[in-house]
Structure 1
Amino acid sequence: MYNDIFISRPKRRLMFSILLVFVLSVKGFAHPMPNSVVLLDIQPKQVLMELQLPLNELELAFGHDVNKNPLGLLNRLRPELSAYLLSHIHPISSDGSGWIVKLYDLQVQQVQQSPSGPYYELTADLMLTPPAGYSTREFILNYDIILHQVATHFALISVRQDWEGGVFASEPIRLGVIDWDTRNNVIHPFKVSLGDGGTWQGFKQTAVLGMHHIAEGTDHLLFLLVLLLAAPLLTVDGKWGTFGGVRYSLARLLKIVTAFTIGHSVTLVAGALEWFSFPGQPVEVLIAFSIFISAFHAVRPVFLGKEAYVAAGFGLIHGMAFAGTLVDLNLNSFQLGMSILGFNLGIELMQLLVIAVVFPWLMILSRTKLYSPLRIGGALLSAAAATGWIIERITSKPNVITTIMDVTAGHASWILVALAVLAILSLFTSRARTQLG
């Protein structure tokens, strides 16, 4: 009679578990909770770690009301938070030797990227230092922040920077996840094993980084290309005239490119070594202004015979922007020196590649009547783009011009194809006319 009325204890447990999983899954579907993020910057003598911890999850584990008045959290609970974080991070070497963990910064900020809406997170910056003689490329991370109390939480572990491994990706390289092993009811230590790195790998990747910086830097390329518009031309009565010949064009090209290289190399080195600090916004505005001046010169000579000096002068400004990329890497002296060399090499390789696929077509077209309207049109469009960038960089707001430029830059390869087709057609047309004549 008892078994007919009441459900047995094992069955009750099973039903309860099914119901709990169902409720949690529905709740998770409706309001997915953000996970933690652990970003590692691997350096020869220490590992820099950045933690991104959602406050709504941290509150469940920390035991304090951290999600109420989050912007005042650090004023209320900084010592307690620091002690909590340090007590749940224990890196060790493979033989069990303990590392020193130092917390040096805490911040609270709002995050927008969440299906359930904006939320606040605590960002913590730490330094993990192994014992003398131990590698930072292989260690065991004992970590259970939030996880020790919230079984559904997990921490995503990624490498954001590893110079010797050639990692400078805009998207961190994912290593894995720390979460509960529900079968064994334990949180396993996470093994970080990055393999052998080396100077060549770091040097090579900084060269690639330099190439990407130019390839993605529409303003840097546009400045150089606008200067090249008039490079094949002679001047007549203070105006641009006809094609000056291959030797003349290449000589002017060499002067302009060399001067620009010298200019940006000087400030790249000075900025990367932090001899000088260059404010970002004025530099970006001046880069856009350099395009505007060069575009005006492509329409009518304003610094005839002094293009090399102008390229060198504006190169100094462009180099200031290049330097910021290396400063952000936080490298040691040797790595920084190799990175400056590799990054600059990458910049030059990409510039030479762009010149190699563009300048021959400009020389061919400069022999035709098509070149004058093409040159003026290209210069005016460049001036318009420069104006849009100047406005955007002063106001910090995009505008119609910059939006159009972003779309146009995405079709650069098709513009190059059109330029090549136009040059080839003009060449065949010119030969046909010569034969008929």
Structure 2
Amino acid sequence: MPNSFVMLDIKTDGVNAELQLPLSELQLAFGHDVAQNSGTLVARLSPELRAYLLAHIHAVSADGRAWTVTVRDLRVQPVEQSASGPYQELTAHLWLQPPVGVSTKDFTLNYDVIIHQLVTHKALVAIRQDWEKGVYSEQPEEVGVIRLDIPTGTILPLHINQSGGSMWRGFKSMVSLGMQHIAEGTDHLLFLLVLLLPAPLLVKEKRWGAFGGTKYSVIRLLKVVTAFTAGHSITLLAAATGWLRLPGQPVEVLIAISILVSAIHALRPVFSGKEAYIAAGFGLIHGMAFASTLANLDLDTTRMGLSILGFNIGIELMQLFVIAITVPWLILLSRTGTYPYIRIAGAILAAIAALAWIIQRVSDKTNFITDLVQQLMKYAPWMILLLGIASIISVSRERYGRKQDLNRL
């Protein structure tokens, strides 16, 4: 049978608790028509459900003082994927408020929802967010299971102790989260890399020409990367702090469009000399996508500020790492006759991926191209290795060819 889940978000002034209660089990303990008419459950029995939860959930501080528990909202939703098959559950959001001056890091949770009547039931408790210990919703940390203790015949309380965290630990976790976000953000990296594809090249007769030199290439690369960083940093700050809000779907579609635009530019110069402005403009869009990760953390001003700084540093570190292991090979290849083929092939593949993402994000349905891109990203290190080998072989062949020509002369 399905279990209950208790997800805790540790804040500085209290604890958010999300209960996920299977209706079939709740009906046996609650004693009302719960599972058969679930669509109207909250409208019919909201006061009774709130009273029931408050009667079976208590939090106590380390010195024995009781916390205030408030039920904020209730809703019914389906659970499609589980070991026990699909079912419906009641999701309840509660606020656990400690007495003034009491830490939210150390308390005892007295909980027997459903378990007081259904002795085979159990509640899995996890910390979903504790900023100072580096725990956030993407990596919940299980802290215990509440169930009937057979030897004593009682439901033992669960002691929650999250002490040991620090501001530094929380900051480091945000740096790691930023690095992870970019490492897994194929679309963000693809936009930047495709925009950098023609950066080492000169423009001749409205077409991409020969290699412009190392200094020329490095300056153009730095301008593009710096502009992109400035753009996404501005909207990351604005969106994460709540100053700017846009629906997620349009932002994701615009990100895919940015890849398509940069791919067209890599095929033929559309905005030659203005790459930095394009990078900054689309960076504003990418920053709003970055901010969605932080906006849901609901932190106080100090911790949000540190989170934005750490997350942004993580993004930059991972971007610089990817650029450092790919761009030198692109600069090396751009000196050879092989580069036009690689540039065109890369631009076409990026354009196909961008179009597939646009279709997916507009229709909200995956397609085989987007699935293929995700599968190919698992082999990204090998692709970079092949790029390096190809660049070394191409440069060596051209040098050998020039040497042969000189010998003939």
Query: Quick one: which amino acid aligns to residue 167 of structure 1?
Result: V
**Could you say which residue in structure 1 is the equivalent of 2:381?**
413
Does residue 165 in structure 1 map to residue 133 in structure 2? yes
Partner of 2:157: 189
What SS class does the counterpart of residue 115 from structure 2 fall into?
coil
Q: 1:193-232 counterparts in 2 under 5 A?
A: 193-232=161-200
2:244 maps to 1:264: no
**Match status 1:293 vs 2:261:** yes
Residues of 2 paired with 1:116 and 1:133: CA distance? 43
Which residue of structure 1 lines up, in the alignment, with residue 306 of structure 2? Answer: 338
The count of corresponding residues between Structure 1 and Structure 2 is: 405
**Which residue matches 2:356?**
388
Per-residue CA shift, 1:41-76, capped at 9, x if unaligned?
011111100000001111111111211111111111
- In the alignment, the residues of structure 2 paired with residue 342 and residue 389 of structure 1 have an alpha-carbon distance, to the nearest angstrom, of 29
Q: Distance in 1 between matches of 2:318 and 2:136?
A: 18
Quote the residue 2:366 is aligned against: 398
> 2:43: which partner in 1?
75
> Is residue 2:341 matched to residue 1:365?
no
Q: CA deviation at 1:360?
A: 0.4
The 3-state SS of whatever aligns with 1:104 is strand
Q: CA deviation at 1:406?
A: 1.6
* Structure 2 residue matching 1:97: 3-state secondary structure: coil
Higher Cα radius of gyration: 1
Cα distance in 2 between the residues matched to 1:158 and 1:400: 35
CA contact (8 A) 1:168 1:209 kept: no
1:251 aligns to 2:219 (yes or no): yes
3-state secondary structure, aligned to 1:274: coil
Unaligned runs of 5+ in 2: none
**Mapped contact 2:2–2:84 kept (Cα < 8 A):** no
Q: What is the letter of the counterpart of residue 202 of structure 1?
A: G
1:237 Cα deviation after fit: 1.4
Question: Is 1:429 aligned with 2:397?
Answer: yes
Displaced runs of 4 or more, over 4 A = none
**Cα distance, 1:169 vs structure 2:** 5.0
CA distance in 1, matches of 2:5, 2:300: 26
Per-residue CA deviations over 1:81-139 (Å, capped at 9, x if unaligned) read: 00000111110011111101111010101111234421110000011111111111111
Q: CA deviation at 1:434?
A: 3.9
Superposition TM-score, scaled by structure 1 size:
0.91
User: Gaps (5+ residues) in structure 1?
Assistant: 1-32
> What displacement does 1:432 show?
2.7
CA distance in structure 1 between the partners assigned to 2:403 and 2:266 by the alignment: 33
Match of residue 146 from structure 1? 114
CA distance in 2, matches of 1:292, 1:299: 11
Aligned AA for 1:350?
M
CA RMSD of aligned residues (A): 1.0
Identity of aligned residues (%): 58
Aligned pair partner of 1:178 in 143, 146, 150 = 146
2:63 paired with 1:95: yes
Q: Deviations over 1:13-49 (max 9, x none)?
A: xxxxxxxxxxxxxxxxxxxx00110001011111100
- 1:309 pairs, out of 273, 277, 283, with 277
Q: Secondary structure at the match of 1:410?
A: helix
User: What TM-score, normalized by structure 2, do the two folds share?
Assistant: 0.97
Higher mean displacement: 405-414 or 41-50: 405-414
Query: What is the CA-CA distance between 1:173 and the residue it aligns to?
Result: 0.6
